[in-house]
Amino acid sequence: MTPIQVLFILTSLSLLVSAFMVVTTRNLVRAALWLISSLFMVAVVFVLLDAGFLAVVQVVVYIGAIAILFIFAVMLTRKVMQDTGPQSNSQWWVAGLFSLLLFGGLSWIILGWGGAAQTVPRVTAGDLDNISDLGRALVDPAGYVVPFEVASVLLLAALIGAIVVAWDRN
Amino acid sequence: MLDNWLFVGLMIGVAIVFPVGPIVLAHLIGPRRPNRIKSETYECGIETVGETWVQFKVQYYIYALVFLIFDIEAVFLFPWAVAFDQLALYAVLEGILFIIILFGGLVYAWNRGILEWA
Amino acid sequence: MGILDPISLIADWLEGLFMGWGWPAGLVNLVMTFLGVFLVANFGMLYVIFLIWLERKLAARMQDRIGPNRVGPYGLFQTIADILKLFTKEDTTPDGADKVIFNLAPILAVVSVLMIWAVVPFAEGWIGTDLNVGVLYIVAVGSFGIVATLIAGWSSNNKFALLGAFRTVAQLVSYEVPMVLSLLVPVLLARNMGLGSIVEAQSSWYSIFFFMAPIAALIFFISSIAEVGRTPFDLLEAESEIVAGFHIEYSGAKFAMIFAAEFLHAFTISVLTITLFFGGWQGWGDQFPLVGWAWFMTKAMLAYFTVAWVRTTLPRIRIDHMLDYNWKFLTPLALAVLVVTALLDRLIIDGFGTDNTPWRPAILFAANLLIGWVTVVLLRRRAAQRPPRQVVGAPRPVARPPQPEAEPEAAGD
């Protein structure tokens, strides 16, 4: 077992444990911190896949902005310190059944794909060019320029929409 | 390239040990005389009044939101900046269009008075 | 010649030693990387001790007093004495605080600053790791510091800490926008996100990025000072106003860690400023790494001196002024500089055919001066629109000491 595989197994286990703790812990701020941990483990997985740029983007955007927004949103509610009350309601068995069905379906699809048994081709030479290739593709008329500009319009719409919703003064 | 990140990974480990060491050391060699007064929360020298909760101004959330939008914009612009050598003028103008659209968003937020602290 | 590159000398010797002991290549690589990590991290943490003393002496001299001069020659051991004192304090946790998170926050604060040092280029070939995403990595690691501040304030179970943490995070998050936008400018000019490549792109004295983008350098410097939380942006640690902000409940070693993280962060941003905009380790004779390191330290200490100078000179600004300054001045200015630099750089390179002409810094510098002049004109126009300040009260005479009365006793004796 190569060191990379060991690292991947450890990272995936941490990711799964963090994700599990996000939904089961009672304290909301602790749940946000477990979320930060799981997002960081996703960044580590990106690094193991030779996608350094995506790893840092994951940390910058998700942990640096979205997790902060989550924590702010959690602190907007008053009962942050203690979260008493039952964790699940009376229909938990229906939810459990559906999630088992979903898990079974996804596992069947992934195992039938066959790509999970192959190794990922290593990006050896020209790893430095990945980012400039990405940049070129983003503005290439035959590439992704239209989604690029549409993304900026989408961000603008998100900004205006959030302002309209959150700002009830004027 | 993974070698580079090995340095970062080891650095995380060492960087965690550096503050943990002194904190554990101080915990071990420091005096331990817990006292009800010592562990009370500080409120300018008087007893605490009310729950520990402050009115969360929605303004904090707005600043974080506008920061998120500009953060994502900057993340899109980094590959554009790295590929600058190979971009023709129209490609540079496309990136500038991206910036101008979001600058319009900032101007809108400014005019609506979103960015005021009060 | 070999003595001028001691790191390579020692590294080669150690590698030979380990290989001679029959260790497999992977293990040797791991051990060498670990030694490199240890060296860089130690440099950071130990240098902070010197920096705290230096800052106190500088602040003292600028305020016309002496500063620490008792403990050791010129007070050099003052910081060590302070550290010893802080370590022997009791480890208290406030009532109702979340113990795990309370202890995690200072660790996260130190980790986030130390991690930046992994990508700093000290000299040619002396760099922890030349990540090809170095600049964005620095932003990513900084975001851990923001999370640390937020959870430090929240877990203290203290109204003032919570309020201070919210305000601190609002400030940090706001000033990150012009910082990231101004970081785009050296990446644009060097076509590379790796810090080693950015330094190497500034090879001649006229091609340092400060000449090509002075406004971007200033914006980065100012927003980094705000990110560290130093005066004039240190409202959130102001003793008189919000009682030390988010770290009220921290004492002893935990406070020492937060304190050390802040000082190290201040030095780190000076280092980043000179790396990105002033050529890093470039200088005369820099093909010898030791000389390159000397240039690096000289420039970094000059930048740190400027940071300390700004701190002791300027008064604190109010939080609404601070946030207005960011969103209504720095961010539009950063966007404008980015747009102009991108456009002009493309036109210059298309026009002259190469990016190595001295015309490039000249034209870009002139464009930056133009942007600066337009900004000043716009600000003056806006200031003229504001109504002049009213004098509210009537002028009163200045207080004078009481006149000495005619004393018959004093004349007699």
Establish, for the pair of chains B and C, how many residue pairs have beta carbons separated by less than 8 Å.
226
pLDDT score, position C395:
74
pLDDT, tens only, A105-124? 998 888 888 776 777 666 66
Domain that holds residue B22: 2-112
Residues pairing with C127 in the sheet:
C121
pLDDT, tens only, B35-74? 766 666 666 655 555 555 666 777 888 888 899 999 999 9
pLDDT score, position A85:
64
Q: Residue C169 and residue C236: Cα distance in Å, rounded?
A: 10
What the block records as the tokens of C147 is 């999370």
Give the DSSP letter of residue C126: E
Mean pLDDT of A26-47: 90
Mean pLDDT of chain C: 85
pLDDT, tens only, C280-318? 888 887 778 888 888 999 999 999 999 999 988 888 888
Query: CB-based contacts of C106: which residues, under 8 Å, 6+ apart?
Result: B19, B23, C148, C152, C250, C254, C255, C257, C258, C261
pLDDT score, position C223:
93
Which residues of A lie inside 8 Å of C (Cβ-Cβ)? Answer: 3, 27, 29-30, 33, 36, 52-53, 56-57, 59-60, 63-65, 67-68, 71, 75, 81, 127-128, 131-132
B33 domain residue, yes or no? yes
What the block records as the tokens of A5 is 């595989």
Would you say residue B26 has pLDDT above 50?
yes
pLDDT score, position C412:
45
Q: Which of C136, C169, C192 sits opposite A57 (nearest CB)?
A: C136
Give the DSSP letter of residue C127: E
First vs last Cα of chain C: how many Å apart? Answer: 83
Dmax (CA) for chain A in angstroms is: 62
Which CATH number do you get for residue B12? 1.20.58.1610
pLDDT score, position B44:
61
Neighbours of B25 (CB within 10 A): 13
Q: Residue C186 and residue C170: Cα distance in Å, rounded?
A: 26
Neighbours of C347 (CB within 10 A): 13
With 0-12 CB in 10 A as exposed, 13-18 as middle and 19+ as buried, what is C375?
A: middle
With 0-12 CB in 10 A as exposed, 13-18 as middle and 19+ as buried, what is C317?
A: middle
Residues pairing with C123 in the sheet:
C126
Domain count, chain B: 1
pLDDT tens for chain C, residues 1 to 413: 456 678 888 888 888 888 888 778 788 888 888 888 998 888 888 898 889 889 888 889 898 888 888 888 888 888 888 888 888 887 777 776 778 888 889 999 999 999 999 999 988 878 888 888 999 999 999 999 999 988 888 887 777 777 778 888 888 999 999 999 999 999 999 988 889 989 988 888 888 899 999 999 999 999 999 998 877 777 666 544 555 567 777 777 888 888 889 889 999 999 999 999 998 888 887 778 888 888 999 999 999 999 999 988 888 888 888 898 999 999 999 999 999 999 999 998 888 877 778 888 889 999 999 999 999 999 999 888 877 777 777 777 777 777 776 555 544 44
B117 domain residue, yes or no? no
**pTM (predicted TM-score):** 0.90
B56 domain residue, yes or no? yes
pLDDT > 90 in chain B, percent? 34
Q: Residue C122 and residue C237: Cα distance in Å, rounded?
A: 32
Nearest to A132 by CA among B72, C196, C133: C133
- Give C353-395 as a DSSP string: SSS--THHHHHHHHHHHHHHHHHHHHHHHHHHHSPPPPP-SPP
Mean pLDDT of A144-157: 91
Place of tokens 């700093």: C120
Query: CB-based contacts of A139: which residues, under 8 Å, 6+ apart?
Result: A145, A148, B80, B83, B87, B91, B94, B95
Nearest to A155 by CA among C140, C339, C177, B68: B68
Residue B93 identity:
L
B118 domain residue, yes or no? no
C-beta separation of A76 from B56 below 8 A: yes
pLDDT score, position A165:
79
**Contacting subunits of A (3+ beta carbon pairs below 8 A):** B, C
Interface contact A75-B56, CB threshold 8 A: yes
Mean pLDDT of A40-58: 91
Q: Which of A53, A63, A81 sits opposite C143 (nearest CB)?
A: A63
Mean pLDDT of A42-63: 91
Q: What kind and span of H or E run contains C225?
A: helix C214-228
